[in-house]
Structure 1
């Protein structure tokens, strides 16, 4: 199999080559079968890179949530001051509204600067997670399809993928149409529900629509994952990675943009 266009560019890119070489080194160093190497590499990446960033992201979210309570008190005072200005100084309502909105934004920015918790900082996990996911998934695909060079070494690795299966998946290059896609969907749905149940207050309509969308999206991905051509070893990685990527985006939008 040969890629073309953007997939060919990604397949031959430097960061994918580094990820591919890392997998080969891990396999040669540990001597483990390929399915174990993929799982072990995923766990190591999660522990060393994404876990600290995830904790940092949650810390930013916690600070923002705490600031909302303080901001509510400030808003109450500002509403009183605005009403007083309209009554005392005969401010036009349009002018008072613009002044109020400007003051609210300024006060919120001051609180964010004080706590050093700008919402953009929460996006660092997504900015790291997505390139990492693309690099590792493309490197696994390269190994399965003997890319980017179809030489003797690539063929040897391909043969190892055929024989280094696990449990019901005896051939890692053959798609698993049931267990792993269903597991991926259930894990996704579980994380969405946990995030939903951990809410502090009632959701706005937009947040409710967003939650419904991701529920439907998660369930809809199950039959798609069963039929879209994809090697089983990639699904081992996807079950650990695609879940986190989608849910990080969901949580980021959930807390920041709405």
Structure 2
């Protein structure tokens, strides 16, 4: 019994000594207890500070995930802050295609102004419309001058359409040209608003491709209820704004402020924007934002060009009111107007064909006369000499 108890006491002493020698460090690494206390004994002043500086607890997984997400969110949009980024991802490859030109312009605006993408789209749209404003001023002036000579022009145009004689048609065309020159009308300015069509197509394609890629920053640089420019507007707010402004500037007289739409045409331009809402509901918010800003600028431009003080300062002619007392022609529907225009175009093409045939016959007669004029009459007596 004495031997067994002494063996047990010796075993317990060995186990206690071993546990003291192999204590674990705060970071989970086993460190000899003796070496640790030796460091404290011979360098006690530094050991206290070192022990307090040792991190006793690792960060949790939630903290690491949150910090990583924050760093990633701050990094979104950094790539697009450099000129040439769009070209590096396959966009803005040329300088002659409308969509590529718009993408280059958007990139320069985004980089050099520091605006977010929604502000870049708005600023670029407004800048281009401001550059086009002088063309709309010329177009508004031309339309207004046309209203002063509209009865005479309509009369000459009807005579020209009804004429099948080439000389008479040329005479009528010359009268019309003199009338327009006398009143300072240059019809080339009427085509100025048509420049808006390729620009609109360019914006549509450029923004659609940028949203589909998507461009860095498009997913979080929206505003208000459309924070993600790559997704469709969930509340159709942009579509409703676009439809409202399109109806407004049509009622006000078009983008030039001088257009006079008939009743059926006003109904058509009222229904068309409403139909466009379901047609554009799946487009990205970036594309519809352009439509909304462009339409809003059109309404503002119409209001400005209708202002008498502005028209006086810009030397724009006033729109003449229709003469009182003259019988008004009955208004035609849209489909009837299209049918009449097609019929008139067909009649005009037939008349031009007839006139061309007459002209070719006249040229043949003149050519024959010239050839006959070169023939000399030689008497028979001259052959015997």
Shorter-chain TM range is 0.5 to 0.7
Residue 193, structure 1, aligned to residue 251, structure 2: yes
Contact 1:53–1:124 (Cα < 8 Å) also in 2: yes
Contact 1:144–1:161 (Cα < 8 Å) also in 2: yes
| Higher relative contact order (CA closer than 8 Å, sequence separation 6+) | 1
Q: Distance in 1 between matches of 2:110 and 2:103?
A: 11
Deviation at 1:221, TM superposition (A): 1.5
TM-score, normalised to structure 1, is: 0.65
Partner of residue 283 from structure 2, selected from 213, 217, 230: 230
* 2:208 equivalent in structure 1: 141
- Shift >4 Å, 4+ stretches: 10-13, 98-106, 198-201
Deviation at 1:30, TM superposition (A): 0.9
TM-score, normalised to structure 2, is: 0.45
Deviation at 1:51, TM superposition (A): 1.2
Contact 1:11–1:138 (Cα < 8 Å) also in 2: no
Deviation at 1:223, TM superposition (A): 2.8
Deviation at 1:18, TM superposition (A): 2.2
Residue 174, structure 1, aligned to residue 231, structure 2: yes
1:65-84, aligned counterparts within 5 Å?
Answer: 65-68=147-150, 71=152
Aligned length: 201
CA deviations on 1:10-67 (whole Å, 9 max, x unpaired) are 986632222211111111111111000000111111111x211111110110111122
Unaligned runs of 5+ in 2: 1-90, 156-161, 303-340, 342-385
Residue 107, structure 1, aligned to residue 165, structure 2: no
Deviation at 1:242, TM superposition (A): 6.2
Q: Distance in 2 between matches of 1:121 and 1:199?
A: 13
SS of the equivalent of 2:223 reads: coil
Deviation at 1:120, TM superposition (A): 4.1
Deviation at 1:105, TM superposition (A): 5.0
SS of the equivalent of 2:219 reads: helix
Deviation at 1:101, TM superposition (A): 8.3
Q: Distance in 2 between matches of 1:104 and 1:23?
A: 50
Unaligned runs of 5+ in 1: 1-9, 76-93, 147-154, 249-256
Q: Distance in 1 between matches of 2:289 and 2:103?
A: 16
Computed over aligned residues only, the root mean square deviation of the Cα atoms, in angstroms, reads 3.7
Contact 1:140–1:233 (Cα < 8 Å) also in 2: yes
Contact 2:92–2:103 (Cα < 8 Å) also in 1: no
| Higher share of residues assigned helix | 1
Residue 18, structure 1, aligned to residue 76, structure 2: no
Contact 2:102–2:202 (Cα < 8 Å) also in 1: yes
SS of the equivalent of 1:43 reads: helix
Cα gap change, 1:131 to 1:100, in 2 (>3 Å): same
SS of the equivalent of 2:224 reads: coil
Q: Distance in 2 between matches of 1:171 and 1:67?
A: 52
Contact 2:92–2:101 (Cα < 8 Å) also in 1: no
Deviation at 1:168, TM superposition (A): 1.1
SS of the equivalent of 2:201 reads: helix
